[in-house]
Structure 1
Amino acid sequence: MASPSARRHALPSPRHRRTLSSTLVEESVAAAAALVQRWHPDDDAAASGSLFLHATEHEAQRFLRAAADLHRAMLFFASDVITHGGGDGLVQAQALLQTAMRRLDQELQLLLDDMTRLDDIRAVVEAMVAAGYGKECISTFKSHRRAALSTELQRLLGLSPPYHQHLHKLAWEQLDGSIIPSWLAAAAVAFNSLFAAEKGLCDAVFAGGNAAVGEAVFAAVANDQATGLLAVAEAAVARARRAPERLFRVLDVHDTLTGEVLPGLLSVFGGINSSEVAARAAHLVAKVGEAARGTLGSLEAAIQKEPSKATAAGGAVHPLTRYVMNYLVFLADYQEGLTQLLVDGYQQQQEASSLMVVVHRLVSVLLGKLEAKAGCYRDVALSYLFLANNTQYVANKVAGSGKLRGILGDGWAEAQSAKARAHVGVYVRAAWGKVMAAIAGAGAGAEPPEAVEQAVMEAVAMQEQWVAADEETAQALRAAATAAVVPRYRMFYRRYGAAVRLTPGDVTTMIAALFAGPPGDV
């Protein structure tokens, strides 16, 4: 038989131990009930404040501990309802825990409006997840942050959601006028700042659990927003196909995408093998390349299809020349990005190409078309004036653009200027050939002196409506004509001056008046 001392220190029977535990649990439930009631989510007075924003830190921590106690009480009562007689206790603890979770759900929404309380947000999330309310917690977090992110993007873009769903209905002018410029200004900020901050928030809040949870929550919050943002760029590329003048917007999108957006996008969303957003961005870059190559091919085809008979009045610079050369000057500004697009695309097609090759080809097609147009003039002199004007315009455009000059080569513009001077020489011989022939005929006695004067008047009249590409070309034309005609006429005048009215000075003045009007549009 055990001694009194042994009996005094013996452990209680199992039945008695369970009774003691039940008492402790019931006391914790009662304490928790009082706290939950004070912060009941349906109480107007309690709803006007916040545990984490308005109450003391001690009160907030007590509430979190109370929620944990209620969850433990539920597990305790549920472990052996029959033994503990805890059916009522289980029901009570579960009801109180549900109420506490509703309160924490409200607190989470309030805290998510005040992003400076990251520790409190994480504490609420951990408490809800630990109590088995992770699904509800994550749902609240996702819906709240998705709405907040949408609002921020709307503010940044100046567009109302769901803006990306209506892009296909907009005219190009609407896209080009406001939407694409807004995207160009906002995309880098969105991917490098907004989405990065959202990813940091998800990682921090859900750091206590599986990292995959934070990644999944971030994807649910941000993927649709990110793909909606990329949809603007996709619309720009799709709507710009085969329209040469729209290529520059596509290249703006490409430069922003590759230079500013992709680094942040890949850092935040992951690589193309693991991220829907990154895969879509990579596909978009490929589409930009296709659009660029297709547009440049369309431009080349358009030059080739230009009717040769469509000439320019007075031998002026043709609108086609102005359009193509101005286009190439602008194109050269995108040299770095466009070079990469062309190299990537043609390498995939097992062809060797570069921006230099493409630009050379476009200019060569243009010069060939100008030769064809020149052949459509009835007057030989006018056809060479046309070639001189247009060739010099091409040379000036290349010489005036450092980037275009670098693409075509330093000596290319000089070679075209030399061709333009050769065209001027042919023009002078053709335009003043009858005058010089008349002078020679008069000197040989085969023509009367009056024939020379008549030839001069006809040559001047013929050229009065002809134009020069610019003042420099006009001076070159006048100088060449003066050098070819005036010395011969002066010799003629010394011999036959009494028989004609025009002096050498008169002829010089008449030549100087040619091409003095407004030059061709440059």
Structure 2
Amino acid sequence: MPRKGMKTLNWFSPKHSSATDMNSPSTSPFSSPSRFAFSPSRPSFSEAVIDRTIEMAEQMITKWDPDTTTFAKVTSVFYENRKEAKDFIKYVNNLHKAMHFHASENSRSDKLVRAQSLMQIAMKRLQKEFYQILSINRALLDPESISTVSSRTSISTRSSTSEFNIEDDDIDNRVAIAGESISEVEDISNIVMADLRLIAECMISSGYTKECLQIYKVIRKSIIDEGIYRLGVEKLSSSQVHKMDWEVMDLKIKDWLNAVNVAMKTLFDGERILCDHVFASSDAIRESCFTEISKDGAMILFSFPEIVAKNSKKSPEKVFRMLDMYTSIVEHWTEIETTFSFDSESAIRSQAMTSLVKLGESIRMALAEFDTALQKESSKTTVAGGGIHPLTIDAMNYIILLADYSYVLSDILGDSPPPAKSSLPESYFGMADSDESPAPVISLRFAWLILILLCKLDGKAKHYKDVSLAYLFLANNLRYIVVKVRSSNLKYLLGENWISKQEGKIKKFASNYEQLGWSHVIQSLPREPNSSISPQQVKEIFKRFNSSFEQAHRKQSLYVVPNSKLRDDLKVSIARKILPVYREFYNIHRDTIAKERHSSHVIKYSPEDLAHYLSDLFFGPIESGSSSSVESSPSRTIPSQLQ
């Protein structure tokens, strides 16, 4: 459009006049009869301007009337000529302003009828343009792309500060700058978003809000609904979930966990950014539009955890999937509140919170069932060689996995009463459990579960007929528990004092084992190896030692100590109590016995032989296999001993 014409039309721009200015005798350009004398033979100044405005707008609008030419019907003005597209928007805006001004002077003017007819044609064109841009550029307007190249803050800032009319030079400059840091696709996406905003603001200001929103909502809602479906989330009824096999449900939960992450970081976020930008001129329109296109998909997404929590069969092993979903909602809660911040979207926020509450209830119920099952476990099975009991392995693996969720468990169990202090002795924690410095509730929960396990192990130790083996069993299992605590989040929940206390108990168990299992071997040696004794007494001592050692070794070569450190500590401790005394006695009296017949039957072992035999202890029978199998990784299954 010629710049001269635009100068004339600028009289109707909000920058140059307002309703107040036009009605003010001192400021209106039409208030002085001496400046503009109207006569029956000469049209008024306002009529001349409206005539000129209609004439210029008519040329552009009729050119792109989709009902007049095949070219206009199949072609997009924004695609063919961006400069002309901008002029089209300007002519339509100026036509609307002129109509508004002229209607205040002569509401029944033929010019208004003609202008209204042109406006209808123009709106039909813009509806077509709006639809084409949204449809053809679905890939460029992909929510992931939009959320990557934009932020709601930056777009909102641009929306509130930019001029209504965006010149081509402005876009070209913006494209040049953007091209230095973002890809060409991202660059084009920004231009497409700017075009949509221009059309939307023109249609809305011209009174065609309904037509504009209808197109936008249909296309963009289909994108959200399709996105939710492709992410693997579907609307399920309570009966469907209740009848579903856990293996199938587990896969659906995995899909949901991925879906909620993608949906909140890209799908809904990108749609909110696009909607905020296109309809930046009206908060009410932005709210109603985004709510309508996102509500169905969001409700399907956030109702899924509630349905699963209320209708899936409860069991301790399923608690981890519930915890995963609970954690996911908590981690995305800020995004949920930010993306669905409108009052009309309170139902979405409420649904997400309801799912959180129902998941929490289901988790508390599953943990209570695990607690009960652990307390009721009463099997009398023992482990050959005093090794790690399956209950210890399964229960600790389960508790360790729970500890990984300690953050959300603190929230879930916060309102639940902690175990009674009388059931958690001070000595168990290694620290005072007073009202002045109480242990955190979540720490008490985990301490309680492990205390139950330790009590069960005490009971199982009583089933060993050999008391020394019972102590070795307790040392093995407590060592296993401490190692697992040290290598997991339990270390931070229970603390170093707790670990130190348990390590002290391990040493006590090991000491009791040595005393009961090897005391008769140690006592078979003289307290004073270098004392003067007869050859017959020497023979008796060697024979007594040989018998005691063989008996102890034969029995305890079947014992197992899976932990290498505990195993080495035990062997070193036993060797220190036997080898120095035996070596001294052996060196002093070996020659005396060697002179006699059948000396080999008396002195069966050299000190080196004893060291070798002791070094082979605690690996168990060769056919029992490697003891390292007890160091298996945690699995998300209910302990087999609790089933």
TM-score by length of 1: 0.75
Aligned to 1:381: 468
Tell me whether 1:519 sits opposite 2:627 in the alignment: yes
Which deviates more from structure 2 when the two are superposed, residues 289-298 or residues 414-423?
Answer: 289-298
> Are the aligned partners of 1:478 and 1:514 in contact in 2 as well (CA < 8 Å)?
yes
Write the letter of the residue equivalent to 1:500: V
**Of residues 560, 567, 571 in structure 2, which corresponds to 1:467?**
560
The CA RMSD over aligned residues, in Å, is: 4.7
> Are the aligned partners of 1:254 and 1:288 in contact in 2 as well (CA < 8 Å)?
yes
Between Structure 1 and Structure 2, which shows a larger proportion of helix residues? 1
Aligned to 2:130: 108
Write the letter of the residue equivalent to 1:503: Y
> Are the aligned partners of 1:335 and 1:355 in contact in 2 as well (CA < 8 Å)?
yes
CA 1:405–1:119 in structure 2 vs 1: closer, same or farther (change >3 Å)?
A: closer
Cα distance in 2 for partners of 1:271, 1:95 equals 37
Q: How does 1:101-180 map to 2 (within 5 A)?
A: 101-112=123-134, 113=137, 116-129=191-204, 132-150=207-225, 153=227, 160=230, 163-165=233-235, 168=241, 171-175=248-252, 179-180=255-256
CA 1:515–1:234 in structure 2 vs 1: closer, same or farther (change >3 Å)?
A: same
Cα distance in 1 for partners of 2:559, 2:312 equals 39
Aligned to 1:39: 65
Tell me whether 1:430 sits opposite 2:516 in the alignment: yes
Cα distance in 2 for partners of 1:134, 1:448 equals 109
CA 1:180–1:197 in structure 2 vs 1: closer, same or farther (change >3 Å)?
A: closer
CA 1:374–1:228 in structure 2 vs 1: closer, same or farther (change >3 Å)?
A: same
2:128 match: secondary structure: helix
Aligned to 1:298: 369
1:52 match: secondary structure: helix
Q: Post-superposition shift, 1:438?
A: 7.0
Write the letter of the residue equivalent to 1:40: P
Q: Comparing both chains, which one has the higher relative contact order based on Cα–Cα distances under 8 Å and sequence gaps of 6 or more?
A: 2
Cα distance in 1 for partners of 2:542, 2:571 equals 24
> Are the aligned partners of 2:542 and 2:603 in contact in 1 as well (CA < 8 Å)?
no
Cα distance in 2 for partners of 1:187, 1:10 equals 64
Q: Post-superposition shift, 1:215?
A: 0.7
Q: Post-superposition shift, 1:258?
A: 2.8
**Of residues 458, 461, 486 in structure 1, which corresponds to 2:551?**
458
Q: Post-superposition shift, 1:59?
A: 4.7
Write the letter of the residue equivalent to 1:324: A
Aligned to 1:3: none
Tell me whether 1:478 sits opposite 2:564 in the alignment: no
Q: Post-superposition shift, 1:115?
A: 5.5
Q: How does 1:290-369 map to 2 (within 5 A)?
A: 290-343=361-414, 354-369=441-456
2:80 match: secondary structure: coil
Cα distance in 1 for partners of 2:310, 2:384 equals 38
Q: Post-superposition shift, 1:311?
A: 2.6
Write the letter of the residue equivalent to 1:502: K
- 1:30-53: CA deviation from partner (whole Å, max 9, x where unpaired): 974983474215854223322333
**Of residues 76, 82, 85 in structure 2, which corresponds to 1:50?**
76
**Of residues 264, 267, 285 in structure 2, which corresponds to 1:213?**
285
1:476 match: secondary structure: helix
Q: Post-superposition shift, 1:283?
A: 2.4
Cα distance in 1 for partners of 2:383, 2:471 equals 12
> Are the aligned partners of 1:67 and 1:131 in contact in 2 as well (CA < 8 Å)?
no
Q: Post-superposition shift, 1:474?
A: 1.3
Aligned to 1:4: none
Tell me whether 1:199 sits opposite 2:272 in the alignment: yes
CA 1:104–1:62 in structure 2 vs 1: closer, same or farther (change >3 Å)?
A: same
> Are the aligned partners of 2:295 and 2:345 in contact in 1 as well (CA < 8 Å)?
no
> Are the aligned partners of 2:524 and 2:545 in contact in 1 as well (CA < 8 Å)?
yes
Write the letter of the residue equivalent to 1:478: K
Q: Post-superposition shift, 1:388?
A: 0.9
Aligned to 1:270: 341
1:40 match: secondary structure: coil
TM-score by length of 2: 0.62
Aligned to 1:224: 296
Count the aligned residue pairs.
483
Q: Post-superposition shift, 1:140?
A: 0.9
**Of residues 477, 485, 488 in structure 2, which corresponds to 1:390?**
477
> Are the aligned partners of 1:70 and 1:93 in contact in 2 as well (CA < 8 Å)?
no
Aligned to 2:358: 287
1:164 match: secondary structure: coil
Structure 2 residue runs without a partner (length 5+): 1-36, 138-188, 419-437, 527-535, 594-598, 621-625, 632-643
Q: Post-superposition shift, 1:486?
A: 5.1
Write the letter of the residue equivalent to 1:105: Q
CA 1:71–1:243 in structure 2 vs 1: closer, same or farther (change >3 Å)?
A: farther
> Are the aligned partners of 1:67 and 1:127 in contact in 2 as well (CA < 8 Å)?
no
Cα distance in 1 for partners of 2:382, 2:285 equals 69
1:432 match: secondary structure: helix
Cα distance in 1 for partners of 2:390, 2:196 equals 65
Write the letter of the residue equivalent to 2:92: L
CA 1:187–1:257 in structure 2 vs 1: closer, same or farther (change >3 Å)?
A: farther
